[in-house]
Amino acid sequence: MRYLPKSPSERREMLEAIGAASVDQLFQSVPEKFRLREPLPLPGPLSEVEIIQYFQARAAENARGYTSFLGAGVYSHLRSVVTDALVQRGEFLTSYTPYQAEFAQGTLTAIFEFQTLMCQLTGQEVANASMYDGSTALTEAVLMAERLTSRHHVLIACSVHPEYRQVLATYAKNLGLTIEEIGYSSSGQVDRAALTPEKLAATAAVIVQSPNFFGVLEELPALAESAHAHGALLVTTITEAVSLGIVRPPAEADIVAMEGQALGVPPSFGGPYVGVIATREKFVRQMPGRLAGQTTDAAGRRGFVLTLATREQHIRREKATSNICTNEALYALVATIHLCLLGKEGLREMAAQNLSKARFALAELEKIPGVRRVFSGPTFNEFTLEFQRSVKLINAALLREKIVGPFALGTKYPELTKRALVCVTETIPRAEIERFAAAVRRILETPV
Amino acid sequence: MNPKATETELAADTNVTASRHVSRNEGLIFEKSASGKRGMEIPPLDVPAVDPATALGRDFLRDSIEGFPEVSEIEVIRHFTRISSWNYAIDLGMYPLGSCTMKYNPRVNEFVARLDGLGTEHPQQPAEASQGCLRILDDLQKCLLAITGMDAATLQPAAGAQGELTGLLMIRAYLESQGNPRKKVLIPDSAHGTNPASVVIAGYEVQNIKSNERGQIDTDHLREFVSGDVAALMLTNPSTLGVFEERIAEIAAILHQRGALVYMDGANMNALAGITRPGDFGVDVMHLNLHKTFSTPHGGGGPGAGPVMVKKILEPFLPVPVVVRKENGQYALDQNRPQAIGRVRAYCGNFGVLLRALAYTLAYGPGIRQATEDAVVNANYIRKHLEDSFDLPYNLPSMHEVVFSDARQKKHGVNTIDIAKRLIDYGFHPYTTAFPLIVPGAMMIEPTESESKEECDLFISAMRAIAEEAESNPELVKTAPHSTRVGRLDEVAAARKPILRWKP
From A58, A247, A430, residue closest to B132, measured CB to CB:
A58
> What are the pLDDT digits (tens) for B274-288?
999 999 999 999 999
CATH number for region A81-338: 3.40.640.10
B236, B190: one domain: yes
Cβ(B461)–Cβ(B497) below 8 Å: no
User: A279 — contact with chain B (CB < 8 Å)?
Assistant: no
pLDDT score of B2 more than 60: no
CB contact under 8 A, B64 and A28: no
What part of A 140-159 touches B (C-beta under 8 Å)?
Answer: none
**Does A335 touch chain B if contact means CB atoms closer than 8 Å?**
no
Out of B129, B143, B364, the one facing A62 most closely (by C-beta) is: B129
Q: How far is B157 from chain A (nearest CA, A)?
A: 9
Whether chain B has a CB inside 8 Å of the CB on A434: the answer is no
Look at residue A12 in the predicted model and tell me its pLDDT: 98
Segment (H or E) for B265:
strand B261-266
B264 vs chain A: nearest CA distance in angstroms? 16
Q: Calculate the dihedral angle through the C-alpha atoms of A174, A180, A186, A188, rounding to the nearest 10 degrees.
A: -30
DSSP calls for B380-414: HHHHHHHTTTSB-SS-S--SS-EEEESHHHHTTT-
Residue B19 confidence (pLDDT): 56
Measured in degrees and rounded to the nearest 5, phi and psi for residue A411 equal -65, -30
Query: Per-residue pLDDT tens for A327-348?
Result: 999 999 999 999 999 999 999 9
Distance between start and end Cα atoms, chain A: 59
Give the Cβ contact number of residue B496 at 10 Å.
11
Q: What CA–CA distance (Å, rounded) separates B388 from B324?
A: 55
pLDDT for A376-405, tens place per residue?
999 999 999 999 999 999 999 999 999 999
Mutate to test the interface with A, among B20, B24, B62, B287 (most CBs of A within 10 A): B62
User: How do residues A239-288 score in pLDDT, each as one tens digit?
Assistant: 999 999 999 999 999 999 999 999 999 999 999 999 999 999 999 999 99
Is there a contact between B303 and A347 if contact means CB atoms under 8 Å apart?
no
Cβ <8 Å between B277 and A23: no
What is the pLDDT at residue B5? 38
* Cβ contact A106–B86 (<8 Å): yes
- Contact across the interface for A378 and B491, Cβ inside 8 Å: no
Interatomic CA distance for residues B191 and B56, integer angstroms: 53
CB contact under 8 A, B84 and A91: yes
> Which regions of B131-245 does DSSP assign to beta strands (E)?
152-154, 184-188, 205-209, 230-236
Angle between helices A329-366 and A105-122 (to 10 degrees): 30
Instruction: Decide if pLDDT at B16 tops 80.
Output: no
Domain hosting B21: range is 7-84
Residues B184 and B298 in one domain: yes
Contact A59 B118 (CB under 8 A): yes
Residue B232 sits in the same domain as residue B315: yes
Are A219 and A378 in contact by the 8 Å Cβ rule? The answer is: no
Same domain as B482, residue B442: yes
Q: Which residue of chain A comes nearest to B290, CA vs CA?
A: A326
| pLDDT value of residue B18 | 52
Residues of B in contact with A341 (CB under 8 A): 38-40, 73, 76
Domain with CATH 3.90.1150.10 in chain A: 67-78+344-445
Q: Does A28 touch chain B (CB under 8 A)?
A: yes
Which of A18, A36, A50 is opposite residue B275, by nearest beta carbon? A36
Mutant choice from A1, A2, A3, A403 vs B, greatest count of B C-beta within 10 A: A3
H helix intervals, A96-235:
105-122, 134-149, 162-172, 197-201, 220-229
What value does the mean pLDDT of chain A take?
97
Which class would CATH give A67-78+344-445? alpha beta
**Contact across the interface for B487 and A15, Cβ inside 8 Å:** no
Would the CB atoms of A18 and B486 count as touching at under 8 Å? no
Given pLDDT bands bounded at 50, 70 and 90, which one contains residue B11? very low
Contact A338, A80 (CB under 8 A): yes
- Prediction pTM value: 0.97
Q: Select the residue from A95, A142, A311, A339 to test the B interface by mutation, using most B Cβ atoms within 10 A.
A: A95
What is the identity of the amino acid at B162?
Q
Which residue of A94, A166, A348 is in closest CB contact with B89? Answer: A94
Contact A318 B449 (CB under 8 A): no
Same structural domain, B375 and B308 = no
pLDDT at B15: 55
What gap in Å lies between CA A45 and CA A41, rounded to an integer?
A: 11
- Of A81, A268, A328, A365, which to mutate for an interface test with B (greatest number of B Cβ within 10 Å)? A268
Closest residue of chain B to A136, computed from CA coordinates: B345
Cross-chain residue pair B499–A294, CB shorter than 8 Å: yes
**Nearest-CA residue of chain A relative to B381?**
A18
Task: Residue window 177-206, chain A: list those with CB within 8 Å of chain B.
Answer: none
b/e burial code for range A279-311 (CB count within 10 A of at least 16 → b): beeebbebbbbbbbbbbebeeeebbbbbbbbeb
Structure confidence by residue, pLDDT tens digits, A405-428 = 999 999 999 999 999 999 999 999
Residue A277: phi and psi, rounded to 5, are: -115, 130
**Do the Cβ atoms of A26 and B197 come within 8 Å?**
no
Residue B496 within any structural domain of the chain: no
Q: Return the CATH number at B126.
A: 3.40.640.10
Collect all residues of chain B within an 8 Å Cβ-Cβ radius of residue A51.
108, 112, 359, 362-363
* B99-117 per-position pLDDT tens digit: 999 999 999 999 999 999 9
Number of domains composing chain B? 3
Higher-confidence position of A72 and B20: A72
Contact list in A for residue B28 (CB cut-off 8 A) is 109, 112-113, 116
Model confidence at B12: pLDDT above 90: no
Q: How far apart are CA A306 and CA B479, in angstroms?
A: 20
At B260-279, the pLDDT tens digits run 999 999 999 999 999 999 99
Question: Where does CATH 3.40.640.10 sit in chain A?
Answer: 81-338
Q: Which of A19, A271, A320 sits opposite B350 (nearest CB)?
A: A271
B301 & B436 share domain: no
Q: Mean pLDDT over residues B119-139, rounded?
A: 98
Contact B345 A104 (CB under 8 A): no
Query: B141-179: per-residue pLDDT in tens?
Result: 999 999 999 999 999 999 999 999 999 999 999 999 999
Q: Are residues B161 and B273 in the same domain?
A: yes
Q: For an interface test with A, give the residue of B24, B56, B68, B491 to mutate (most A CBs within 10 A).
A: B68
pLDDT in the model for residue A299 = 93
**Stretch B207-235: mean pLDDT, rounded?**
93
Residue B157 and residue B350 in contact, taking contact as beta carbons nearer than 8 Å: no
B129 and B167 co-located in one domain: yes
Q: Are residues B164 and B15 in the same domain?
A: no
Q: Are B344 and B166 in contact (CB under 8 A)?
A: yes
According to the model, what pLDDT value does residue B20 have?
61
Same domain, B152 and B67: no
Mean pLDDT over all residues of chain B? 94
Q: Across the interface, which of A166, A307, A329 has its CB nearest the CB of B299? A: A329
pLDDT recorded at residue A310:
86
Listed as ranges, residues in chain A with pLDDT below 70 are none
- Within 8 A of B303 by CB-CB distance, chain A residues are 132, 271-272, 326-331
The enclosing domain of B405 has a CATH number of 3.90.1150.10
Q: Is residue B90 part of a domain?
A: no
A357 touches chain B (CB under 8 A): yes
Nearest CA of chain A to the CA of B221: how many Å? Answer: 21
Are B191 and B234 a contacting pair, CB within 8 Å? Answer: yes
DSSP element (H, E) containing A396: helix A391-400
From the centroid of its chain, how far is CA A187? Answer: 26
- The verdict on residue B273 lying in a domain is yes
B126 inside domain: yes
Task: Say if the ipTM goes beyond 0.95.
Answer: yes
Give the DSSP letter string of B61-102.
Answer: B----TT-----HHHHHHHHHHHHTTB--TTTS---BTTT--
A325 closest CB neighbour out of B113, B194, B376: B194
Size of interface A-B (CB pairs under 8 A): 692
What residue of B is the nearest CA neighbor of A74? B122
Residues B187 and B197 in one domain: yes
Query: A158-172, B64-78, B209-223, B460-474: which range is least confident on average?
Result: B209-223
Q: Residue B499: inside a domain, yes or no? A: no
pLDDT digit string (tens) for B409-450? 999 999 999 999 999 999 999 999 988 999 999 999 999 999
Residues B43 and B156 in one domain: no
Examine residue B497 and state whether it is found in any structural domain, yes or no: no
Question: Which residues on chain B are in Cβ contact (under 8 Å) with A144?
Answer: none
Q: Are strands A205-209 and A153-157 parallel, antiparallel or unpaired?
A: parallel
> Is residue B1 situated within a structural domain?
no
Dmax (CA) of chain A? 83
| HEC readout, A308-346 | CHHHCHHHHHHHCCCCCCCCCHHHHHHHHHHHHHHHHHH
Q: Which chain B residues are Cβ-neighbours of A324 within 8 angstroms?
A: 159, 161-162
A363 lies within 8 A of chain B by CB? no
Alpha-carbon Rg for chain B, nearest whole angstrom, is 26
Q: Let me know if residue B211 belongs to a domain.
A: yes
Identity (one letter) of the amino acid at A440?
V
Domain boundary among B365, B381, B413: B365
Q: Residue B23 has what pLDDT?
A: 61
